[in-house]
A and B are shown apart, each in its own frame.
Chain A
Amino acid sequence: MSTTTTSGSTVESKADRKGTPERALPSWLNEQKLWGIGAVVVAIILWAVAAGIQHKKLLLPGPADVIQAFADLFSSGDIWIDLWTSTQELLVGLALAVLIGLPLGLLIGWYRRVGWALDPFINFLYATPRIALTPLLIIWLGIGSTSKFAIVFLMAVFPILINTAQGVHALDQGAVRVAKCFGANDFQLFRTVALPGTVPFIASGMRLAVGQALIGVFVAELAGAEHGVGMMMSTAGQQFQTPKVFAGLFLFAFAGVAVTVLLRRVEQHFAAWRPQSH
């Protein structure tokens, strides 16, 4: 009955076809990853060399300096407060963006008139660099976490909202007709056609939203905060502690990559029905 192929056997068959040399690669490693890892290693070596030939270490710290900065950060307890604050800002802002952006996007896509009515506001806010609202939001909501939630929310909500609405717009009318033919009511049509058909759009909206949210966290903390990784970087920058700035930069990058990988997993899980092109 089931004719599924395990991923392990796919890798094997690919290897067979290309006539792999005598030493087979472990299953998690393929040629594509090998090239990526190789390039990263080369880049780190170049970085170390570039850092080594400088007179002053102030401008470009080497890899070893950054690792040392990481070690210092994590041995003193302060970084945990910063990490926790920034993570909280990111997650709460994103959660708010999903809670508001998703239903609103579905509404806009589903009911044309709602879309027409909200279009001017969405266009206005989407075209505005929303990050420019930061000073205003800090005046309104204070220097604490609340203003950060608001900024992250504002940054993240639009990709989600717009993608979701687009997904509903792009629904396959043939599928809608089939559902109506079987006598589906509006709720059933929504649950069985609109929602599953929109999932890939929602997922890519979420991925875009994460990038925007990280920008939101950083800029909001720059503009004034008590704690946070962005705040830590800003302070370190003012004191010319360049390795520490780099460490903060990497923390942001890792967070972005981690969340994106996670969301891509989720996306693949929900869209197993799509042709596998990548």
Chain B
Amino acid sequence: MELKRGEFISLVGPSGCGKTTFLNAVAGFVPISDGTLQLDGRNIPGPGPDRAMVFQQPNLLPWRTVLANVTYGLELSTNMPKSEQRDRAHELLDLVGLGDVAHQYPVNLSGGMQSRVNLARALAVEPELLLLDEPFAAIDAQTREVLQVELLRVCAARDVTALFVTHDIAEAAFLADRVCVFGPRPGKIVKEIEVPWERPRTQDLRRSREFLEKCDEIADVLYSSKSAAGSSAQEEH
């Protein structure tokens, strides 16, 4: 499997198929047992600021204001002057629509808002690759649809390359250029499905017949893959 710059790829699969493990391996949290993982032609040694992870839980640091949460990654991984860090954080908070709560503590924010802060924090380090592990799974359905459009807008604005893990087929199709379907055997990608629609995508796309057919196609692969052997996947960037 290869990922081009600026591409958005969704990973779907039955639970326990190893999609999160795969993402963690790309992030550098877990060692890989077989095959190679490369970023810009180099093997991945461990966690680093060239890849940023967005978890299912927002995991904001409660003792930091929203602004300080967004600058957190920059503080850890760069020597950027404080004022510059703050400027960039303000910019990103404006981008995700949270410019006016920059000085609040996370405890005062709703789940959807925390999720946006989480995204802004990951984008602040300007990662080569954005890794998202079911970031909207804990969020109510309506807010989730709004956040998906937001995510696409933000990714387009920042030319982000993204790997998005989800169990929600519609979400996978709506966001991605390509959907990779994992089989029940750990770590095997059964099929890659192109999602052709132009960006920016809007909420109307969800209701269109073509979109629903695309979702059916993904679902067919997903549910029939239990019997399929699947081809071994070499994961490369």
Contact = CB atoms under 8 A, between A and B. Distances in A.
Interface string A176-217: 011111111000100011001101000000000000000000
B55 A273 contact: no
Contacts of B52: 181-182
Given A181-B47, A182-B77, A1 B61 contact: no
A175 B72 CA distance: 11
A208 to B, nearest CB: 22
Contacts of B99: 1
A174 B59 contact: yes
A177 B59 contact: yes
A38 interface: no
Interface of A: 1-3, 172, 174-175, 177-184, 188, 192-193, 196-197, 199, 271-275
Given A3-B100, A183-B49, A272 B105 contact: yes
B63 A182 contact: no
B48 interface: yes
Interface of B: 27, 29, 47-49, 52-53, 55, 57, 59, 61-64, 72-73, 75-77, 99-107, 125
Chain B interface mostly helix, strand, loop or mixed?
loop
B62 A188 contact: no
A272 B49 CA distance: 30
Contact of A273 (B102, B107, B125): B107
Nearest to B56: A174
B100 A182 contact: no
Contact of A196 (B29, B61, B107): B61
Contact of B103 (A1, A177, A184): A1
A273 B64 CA distance: 7
A273 B100 contact: no
Given A3-B104, A174-B55, A273-B106, 13 more contacts: A3-B101, A172-B59, A177-B59, A178-B55, A181-B27, A181-B53, A182-B49, A182-B72, A182-B73, A183-B49, A183-B77, A196-B63, A271-B63
